[in-house]
Structure 1
Amino acid sequence: MPAAERHPDGGLHCGELPTTTVHVPHPPPGFVARPRLVRQLCTGVARGTVLVCGPAGYGKSSLVTDWARTDGVPVAWLSADDGDNDPARFWRHVALAVDTARPGAGERIESVLDPAAPVTAPATALINEMAGASDELVLVVDDYHRIREAAVHRSVVLLLEHAPPSFRLVLATRADPPLPLARLRAQGRLSELRAADLRFTVAEAAQLLRGTVVDLPDAAVAALDERTEGWGAGLALAALSMQGRTDVEEFVAAFSGSHRFVLDYLSEEVLDRQPEQTRTFLLETSVLDGLCGPLCDALRGSSGAQQQLEALERDNAFVHRLDDARHWWRYHHLFADLLRARLRREDPEREPELHRAAADWYQRHGFPDEAIHHALLAGEHEQAARLIEQHVEDRILRRNEAATLTRWMAELPGDVVDGRPRLSLARAVAALLGGRPDEAEPHLARIDRTPAPVEDGPYEPSVGRESSILANVAAMTAICRADLARQRGDPEAQRDFARAAAARLTTEDTVLDAIARLHVAGPDWVDGRLAEAERSLDEVVRRLTGPTGSPGLRGHGQYAAARALYNLGGVQHARGRLGAAVRTYRHGLEVIGGASAPPAGIARVGLASVLYDRDELEAAEEHASEGVALARRLTYLPPVVDGLITLARIRQARGDAAGAAEAIGDAVDAQHGVVDLRHPVEAWAARLAVADGRSADAAAWVSRQGIAVDDEPSYRRKREYLVLARVLLADGAPERATALLHRWERPAREHDRTGDIVEIGVLLGLAHDGRGDRPAALSAVADALAVAAPDRHLRVFLDEGAPMATLLRELLVGRRLEQLVGADAVPAEVLDHLSRGFARFEEPVLPPARRGAVAAPGLVEPLTAREAEVLALIADGRPNRDIAAELVITLDTVKRHVTHVLGKLAVTNRTEAVGRARRLGLLR
């Protein structure tokens, strides 16, 4: 038997704490195989959903464990506990379990764990993951009765109702869950094993009893099976009680009563027959959910626990091993309940002492959740509050487990919460990051009422002082109020609160300083003072990343740098400096250290938006899709909304109006009704409606905004007025559109906002053309092309469709463009790109290949531009991981591209692909 490792402090090292089982557990001690039930379970799994339901001690977990280890189907196993009543934690654990059976799938499911997403989003992600999969997956949730949270049940209902054929679900529970069982029965999709099925037969009882009691007569076996009514726990306890007895038949004759009385009687028999040292060990360690030698020694102030636990396992004394190294065990749930009740009855003062010792051990060994749990049970509310303060940033705010924070707070007395404003501040931050400003207000008000915070020593956040956002309560409270103002659309108040926060900062508040500066720059952005905003944001980036361009901070420091670079890129994009924005977003990816970390989603979403404007749709779609998935794992809404808007625009550009509507609807849902002046989702939805021919819907929306042609331009509402211009053009009112656009052109040119100049020029060209003034139309479009060309603002022309195609063709005929703006104003490659983009309006005989595609004789389907890049890197001998780094995409995306390349070339490996590509002239 392997010995436990030595810990540096001289004790035994317990390894990683197995708080939640996400793999098929080991068979319990005294395990008895029951083939008849395994066969039933196999048959049930084939039908879709299996409910294994029965009272405690009927062997539900043992049965499902036996089936999972013998059936051969990939199994994702989750043993639920009380902490899984937090929806985020439940689905994070499901994702971990799924990842054990389908590596990589769990990460994709976890990527949608975002406060902005509906609670059912992870279930939808799992459904999508399994849709079309050829191999099966069974998700087992053991102890499902411990789930009480309605939100979790709702997400499981969605999973049940939309599960694809490749997915199966097994629930082991003590009571019927609040799920649509009747409907599943009627549909023939539910199989059930209940207490009557789970009862031990006489033969099974004999196998269980004779594994412990030698020479037990058949009559005694039958009698015990009858008197326990086939109850596995009762049989096991009876076997334990009979160990060493000579009066076995007398014991069996006296054995009677209901389950409750039998259990009480047998537990007393078990305990009373143990040596005093073992009995005390059992009682005192019963307060623990997980048992390891060093922990039990610390709890009892003695030594030898490791040997004691190993002996209990050998003796089948209701101890279940949780790992292969024999570091961790747990008591059978029923046995633990009985031990705790006995401890509480015999020595009520000892129980809190034990919880206190457990809290101290867990705290010393870096298990904050368990330390908080035991501190609360010990009544050590100040210790629990201090631990929550120290770890809330790392364990709650980053992991989105707001329900866990709420539960902890509910168990603290009101005066403890009121005396510790960081606890209220944490809840306010969680609400604001999740886009729930109304929930944040009362927590901020509570902080204002707190006369002085409780300080029981220096505050030591787990993320480090420089990275902490809760260390400086006064500054962070002001920052929260700035963010509250931002989400309510009040940039003036946002700036005032941000400046108040800056006045309260210390030299240690590195991250808070950056966040405060972001809020100061925000109003400059939304009010069109883009040069000032860019300077401010560039200063924030330099402060965070230092002279080398890489942050020395982790955690919140890295996250703050990602946000600063995202905002800087956004301002550069708004100014029309697309090349600068691309460089900024790529710098963001370098700072984060890769394209797959959650903060990378922020940069990838920004990059997608720029690539869209450059008409690099395929790359834009990759970055937008994967960026949104990554950003959802954070608690910062703008990039999620921004990425969904870009996805909607991409789909609209490809003629997928339904897909565009779905993406923009997701963006509206993600924004939760928060006012975001930089990403006005409803305005984008209205613009897409015009593009889809639904100008009446857009006109109705414009009417509700209360805006008119003669209004003075206000940059924060620019997107709404440009929608109005498009509605006027669609409704045959080009004169009014022209007047509006001229009004907006002046400030755009005064403030050198290139992107706005190009877009307004394009719309002016269409407006003049609508008025019948073709020379003015051509002049406006030519001027817009000259401004757009240096930074490749291309999509703004292509999005206007056939009318713009007509104007562009006329500009290219008779050298009109050269006459209007000069021979070198618009490079030939820009005109070629636009010409190819507008080719579909020239009614070609055959449908053209996708823009940027690489065709060749003998190639059934052309390679896309990105696939051609991948092919070239394959030819250079680059492995997939290097290709991912080179193209700034994920490894999964590279694998997908490689698969497409091989399929289109009709080959089976990379060597064949390179050879065939050379023969087809696709490679030099």
Structure 2
Amino acid sequence: MPQRRPDSPSAATGASPRVMAPRNKTRVVARERVVGQLIEARRKRCIVLQGPAGCGKTTTLLAWREALLPLGFDLAWLTLAPEDDDLASFVDGLVASLAQVDPAICREAALLGGRGVDDEAVERTVIALVRAIASRSADLALVVDDLDHVTNPRSHRALQWLIDYAPPNLHIALVSRGSFPVSLGRLRDQDLVLELNMRDLRFTFAESAQYLRAQLGEVSERDAREMHELTDGWVTGLQLFAMHLKRRRTSIGTADVSASLASTHLHDARAFGDYFERAVLSRLSASEVELLVRMSVCARLCSSLCVALVGDEQPSGEVLALLARLENDNLFIAQIERVGNETWYRLNPLFRETLLERLRERSEFLQRKVHHAAWCWFRDHGLREEAVRHALLAGEPAAAAELVLKVARKLQFSGDLRRLASLMHLLPHAEIEARIDLRLWRLQLQLYARDFEACAATIARLDADIPADDVAARYRLTLLRAAVDVQRDDAESAMAILPQILATPPDTNSISIGARNNLLSWLYMRHGDYEQARAIQSDADHLLFAGAPLIGTPGGMLNGRCIVGFSYALEGRFQEVERISRDVLAEADQRGSSAAEAACLAAAQLGEALYEFNDIAGARRLLEDRVDVLERVSIPDSVLRVFTVLSAAHWAEGHRLDALAYLERLEEYASRQGLARLLAHSLAAQVRQHLQCGQYDDAQSHLARLDMIAARLRPTQPNAWHDAHALAERSHVSWCLAHEDFEGAAMRLPALIALCGERGGQHHVVQLRMQSALVDQRRGRMDTARGTALMGLRLGHRLGLVRSVLDVDPGIVSFAEQVVRAGLPGTADDRDDSVDPVLAFYVDRLRAAQASAAALASTTNEAALERVAAPGGADTLSERETKVVSLLAQAMPNKKIARTLGISPETVKWHLKNIYGKLGVSSRDEAVARVRDLGIE
């Protein structure tokens, strides 16, 4: 996608100046030498420009930027400010800058944004950005300007991740006045870094002379040399001199350079400040200086904002005239963008520092007055973040808090809870505590960040503090409490407050009504009342917010349709699941962040449906591209499906270690979140895989844990117990079959079939009936086996099941063929002279699906053998990657590798991705074979 240019009509109105590259009207003609170096180094991973203020770092990169655009590069720009020293603000700026190039780069990162700023969350965000960039064909250059404003070690760590994980098509330019604690040693060793300092950036005498003549016309060599020596080749110093001489020539018709520059030295930023005071501000009228001083409070400016800053104290014509003169003379002001009839500018950083110093000398009353004017203007023009910031600087925190309250619901509707989190972060704690509504929004954001301990504490305090007669606030707290229950997978707690959920107060807004409907559908679905869950959605009124349909957000129509899809999945009606999830996913992807959660839910359901219909590779591709984001942002039911489907898909392809790794990852997720039901699913699947591999000790250990979970859940969480008990019983049946204890399996199966049938899980009933038929066959009870198998096949055909049948047993298709074609004797009622054509057709489909899966596994294995046999690979691994791969050869899961090396599981996953690429493999199993082939220990 081509880069969105700052002056493009499609540029977002009011885009933050920090993500827009400044524009100079007059090109600095003397940058060819340095720009040539930068162009030559455009393929390097990192470019560092380090030098004091005024030495032309930003100007040089602007020229480089213009040179790269015709070469097919995309360019992103982030200018940092003191407020970006906060980690959340830094990461938010990073995401926003890349979104200016292509919003698709930040789609997954935006889902993660606002859900916490712990190291794992930030690392996941960085990895999401890197993966999106790596998937693009175009090279992307990211300029991070004024990095010296960031001193937070955690922000430096985030930047380090970005550099370490950067794909070959990402090139990062770091611009700073001083050094910064980011390691570039590895990249230096690989000759992937270009570093330029003051010695490289200062003008040579020839460049200074060229620049001065471009600005002033004829300049003698002696005068040019004197100005070059006075400024030591600093660009801003030369610009100051050129401005000064232009003014003198205008006022007296000529200028004696030697006399004008006597005793002037501009070798450091303080000298620049002194010179601004003496040579610029001292020559302006008092009203002009006053305007400039007031302008300095804003990071960006436009004409109407400047008029507002001076109010009635200056005529608007004078304000506009000064702004036009500054722009026309290219004096210490740079254009950012043009939106509608407004042109936005940014003051030269050195000049702004000088002006801000003057402002600090003014009375506190005046400073607050200027910020008050700024916050009112930004508020009236819908620029929320700047409005809140200036309201706080104006000493009006209550106004800032009210502004956040005013825009919060709109931000929720647009799916921009990340921005809401940023605004809440600006507010003083006391202002939030003083307002019940803001505390409810804080609870919403804590839920968004999955900070359940904070949620519990906030709910308890709000329950005590909300007055009994504040019906609306108490109902909203009820919905948020139920939403926490959904994320905690606690259907019992949600059911306990069902009467309160049903008691919807009059005048409840549409977002809350939508959330109520979706919560009720989830609750009924989890209790097996699927028809009631779907009726809630089908009977709901058409909801609107601000005149637009309520599509996205957790209370929107798309989420409701996803819950309907989940209800069909629990029943085993996957044809309905596929239809719904495909439609929702297509619409959610079009709507972007406002429908992000619906996209996650739909992807999980579609992946399950694709696997069920034997599109194993399609299911894996769909989910593996989204798994990291899904794990972080979706509800437990969605995460459960993603991990179990990916494990099953890898197992079908013959990737045993990868299949087990996804189950271990599900176990880790469930343990971390305290989700006993999901832990039971992970353990049951691991029992089955261990038994199939003949690893009986591991299977027995996991089965014992599964029994303990079921026993613990029975008295307190009957809903979760139902699942855990069924999983434990199925695992015991698998244990019996693995040990040829067919009588033991036969004793458990009838009750298990009835248990699953009670909750409407018809695909589980099909599996268990087919398993029961196999058990009866092996017990010699042929008539019973045939009858049970026919019931299972008829139900399976009606539901369109494929993998649910194939995964029962490797010989299930041959067994089904014998049953359908009367290869087994049956009862008199079941015997027929002709073969049932419907069931015969169904069995043929199963046979074709089995053959297709076998061909896929064979193709995958053959490709793996070719890759493993290919030469090379080990020499390209870094020291850390070699350590990771040696532990991988010991069949360690990611979590254990992370603990062993003292790194995060996210970092392990990233190393594995790089290792796979370098070794030419695509799975753990192939990597282990390759490692052993190379002799890496």
Q: Deviations over 1:288-319 (max 9, x none)?
A: 11111112222222423444322211122201
Partner amino acid, structure 2, of 1:607:
L
Which of 270, 282, 285 aligns to 1:272? It is 282
Conserved? CA contact 2:52–2:268, under 8 Å:
no
Aligned to 1:379: 395
Q: Which residue number corresponds to residue 270 of structure 2?
A: 261
Mean alpha-carbon deviation: is it higher for 145-154 or for 277-286? Answer: 145-154
Residues 657-683 of structure 1 show CA distances to partners (whole Å, capped at 9, x for unaligned) of 344455556656666833557755624
Residue 550 of structure 2: SS of its match in structure 1? coil
CA RMSD of aligned residues (A): 4.1
Q: Alignment partner for residue 729 of structure 1, among 707, 725, 737? A: 737
1:287 and 2:297 are equivalent in the alignment: yes
Return the letter of the residue paired with 1:297.
Answer: V
State the SS of the aligned residue for 1:45: coil
* Change in 2 beyond 3 A, CA 1:99/1:289: closer
Which SS does the other structure have where 1:188 is aligned?
coil
Q: Distance in 2 between matches of 1:70 and 1:594?
A: 33
Contact kept in structure 1, 2:565 and 2:581, CA below 8 Å: yes
Query: Compared with structure 1, are the counterparts of its residues 847 and 225 closer, same or farther at alpha carbon in structure 2 (3 Å cutoff)?
Result: closer
**Aligned positions of 1:671-690 closer than 5 A:** 673-676=672-675, 682-683=682-683, 686=686, 689-690=689-690
SS of match in other structure, 2:301: coil
Which 5+ residue runs of structure 1 have no aligned equivalent? 1-12, 456-470, 851-924
Counterpart of 1:499 in structure 2 is 499
Partners of 1:194 and 1:545 lie apart in 2 by: 62
Structure 2 counterpart of 1:428, one-letter code: L
Do residues 349 (structure 1) and 365 (structure 2) align? Answer: yes
2:849 aligned residue: 837
Once the two structures are superposed, what CA deviation does each residue of 1:570-602 show, in whole Å capped at 9, x if it has no partner?
223222334444455467569869697533442
Q: Distance in 2 between matches of 1:271 and 1:201?
A: 29
3-state DSSP of counterpart to 2:673: coil
Residue 901 (structure 1) aligns with: none
1:827 to 2:839 alignment: yes
Q: How far, CA to CA, are the matches of 1:143 and 1:708 in structure 2? A: 54
| Cα pair 2:29 2:214 within 8 Å, conserved | no
* 1: CA distance, partners of 2:321 / 2:778: 90
Q: 45, 49, 56: which is aligned to 1:48?
A: 45
Partner residue, 1:796: 804
> Which residue of the partner structure matches residue 897 of structure 2?
none
Kindly state the Cα deviation for residue 766 of structure 1 after the two structures are TM-superposed. 4.4
Asked if 2 retains the 8 angstrom alpha-carbon contact of 1:78 and 1:141, the reply is yes
Letter in 2 for 1:176: S
Instruction: Please tell me the residue identity of whatever aligns with 1:432.
Output: L
- Residue 441 (structure 1) aligned with residue 456 (structure 2): yes
1:91 Cα deviation after fit: 5.9
Residue 173 in structure 1 maps to residue 176 in structure 2: yes
Equivalent residues in 2 for 1:827-906, closer than 5 Å: 827-839=839-851
Report SS of the residue matched to 1:323. strand
Return closer, same or farther for 1:358/1:218 CA change in 2, 3 Å cut-off: same
Amino acid in the other structure paired with 1:338: T
- The answer to whether 1:747 aligns with 2:759 is no
Whether 2:704 is the aligned partner of 1:703: answer: yes
Deviation at 1:764, TM superposition (A): 2.5
User: Which shifted more, 118-127 or 268-277?
Assistant: 118-127
Equivalent-residue separation in structure 2 for 1:849 and 1:812 (angstroms): 31
Distance 1:666 1:211, change over 3 A: farther
Q: What aligned pairs does 1:119-158 form with structure 2 within 5 A after superposition?
A: 119-129=122-132, 131=134, 135-148=138-151, 150-158=153-161
The residue identity in structure 2 corresponding to 1:291 is L
Counterpart check, 1:479 vs 2:479:
yes
Q: 1:171 to 1:319 in 2, by over 3 A?
A: same
**Kept after mapping to 1: 8 A contact 2:805/2:812:** yes
Per the normalisation by structure 1, the TM-score is 0.78
User: Does residue 27 in structure 1 map to residue 41 in structure 2?
Assistant: no
Q: Which amino acid aligns with 1:703?
A: A
* Partner-residue secondary structure (3-state), 2:262: helix
Contact 1:482–1:496 under 8 Å retained in 2: no
Aligned counterpart in structure 1 of residue 531 of structure 2, from 500, 515, 534: 534
**C-alpha distance in 1, partners of 2:561/2:674?**
22
Q: What is the aligned-residue identity percentage? A: 23
Distance 2:851 2:633 in 1: 41
Tell me the equivalent position of 1:60: 57
Tell me the TM-score normalized by structure 2. Answer: 0.77
Distance 1:213 1:188, change over 3 A: same
Query: Which of residues 555, 561, 566 in structure 2 aligns to 1:565?
Result: 561
CA distance in 2, matches of 1:479, 1:15: 34
Give the match for residue 330 of structure 2: 316
Note the C-alpha offset of 1:268. 0.9
Question: 8 Å contact 1:145–1:173 — kept in the other structure?
Answer: yes
Shift in Å, 1:739: 2.9
CA distance in 1, matches of 2:79, 2:784: 70
Asked if 1:429 is matched to 2:426, the reply is: no
Question: 129-138 or 199-208, which moves further after superposition?
Answer: 129-138
Counterpart pick for 1:303 among 310, 313, 316:
316
Q: Which amino acid aligns with 2:458?
A: H
Deviations 1:170-203 (A, max 9, x none): 2222233332223332343222111222222222
Give the match's secondary structure for 1:802: coil
Q: Distance in 2 between matches of 1:638 and 1:360?
A: 45
| Secondary structure class of the residue paired with 1:329 | strand
Task: Say which is worse superposed, 269-278 or 223-232, in terms of deviation.
Answer: 223-232
| Aligned equivalents of 1:552, 1:43: Cα separation in 2 | 51
| Residue matched to 1:461 | none
Aligned equivalents of 2:275 and 2:789: distance in 1? 91
Provide closer, same or farther for how the CA distance between residues 586 and 70 of structure 1 changes in structure 2, counting only shifts above 3 A. closer
Once residues 227 and 37 of structure 2 are traced to their aligned partners in structure 1, the CA distance between those partners, rounded to angstroms, is 25
Name the counterpart of 1:362.
Answer: 378
2:497 partner letter: F
Unmatched 5+ residue regions in structure 2? 1-9, 249-254, 861-937
Query: Could you give the per-residue CA deviations for residues 116-173 of structure 1, whole angstroms, max 9, x where no partner exists?
Result: 9843334434544555876533332223334455555444433433434333222222
> For residue 198 of structure 2, what is the aligned residue in structure 1?
195
Counterpart-to-counterpart distance in 2, 1:688 and 1:170: 51
Structure 1 position 434, deviation (Å): 3.4
- Deviations, residues 211-253 of structure 1 (Å, cap 9, x unaligned): 4456555444434433433333333334334443445423422
Distance 1:757 1:454, change over 3 A: closer
Q: Which residue of 2 aligns with 1:509?
A: 509
Q: Hey, which of these two has a bigger chunk of helix by percent?
A: 2
Residue among 235, 240, 243 paired with 2:238: 235
**Pairing of 1:414-813 with structure 2 (within 5 A):** 414-450=429-465, 472-503=472-503, 505-526=505-526, 529-530=527-528, 532-545=529-542, 553-554=549-550, 559-582=555-578, 584-585=580-581, 588=584, 598=596, 599-617=598-616, 620-621=619-620, 624=623, 638-661=637-660, 663-664=662-663, 673-676=672-675, 682-683=682-683, 686=686, 689-690=689-690, 693=693, 696-707=697-708, 714-717=721-724, 718-750=726-758, 752-768=760-776, 776-813=784-821
Distance across 1 between alignment mates of 2:209 and 2:468: 64
Deviation at 1:346, TM superposition (A): 3.3
1:728 Cα deviation after fit: 4.0
Deviation at 1:340, TM superposition (A): 1.4
Change (3 A) 1:847 1:413: closer
What amino acid does structure 2 have at the position aligned with 1:838?
Q
Q: CA deviation at 1:834?
A: 0.7
Task: Please give the alpha-carbon distance, in whole angstroms, between the structure 2 residues aligned to 1:107 and 1:482.
Answer: 28
**Aligned-pair CA distance for 1:606:** 2.0
1:575 counterpart letter in structure 2: E
- Any idea what the Cα deviations from partners look like across 1:594-628, whole Å, max 9, x if unmatched? 69753344234323323432334466456646776
What SS is found at the alignment partner of 1:729? helix
Deviation string, structure 1 residues 85-143 (Cα, Å, up to 9, x no partner): 67777666656655666785555765665849843334434544555876533332223
What CA distance in whole angstroms lies between the structure 1 residues aligned with 2:665 and 2:413? 23
- Separation (CA, whole Å) in 2 of partners of 1:307 and 1:36: 37
Residues 495-530 of structure 1, C-alpha deviations (whole Å, 9 max, x = no match): 22343244363343333234334444545444xx41
8 Å CA contact 2:667–2:678 kept in 1: the answer is no
Partner Cα distance (1:809, 1:417) in 2: 68
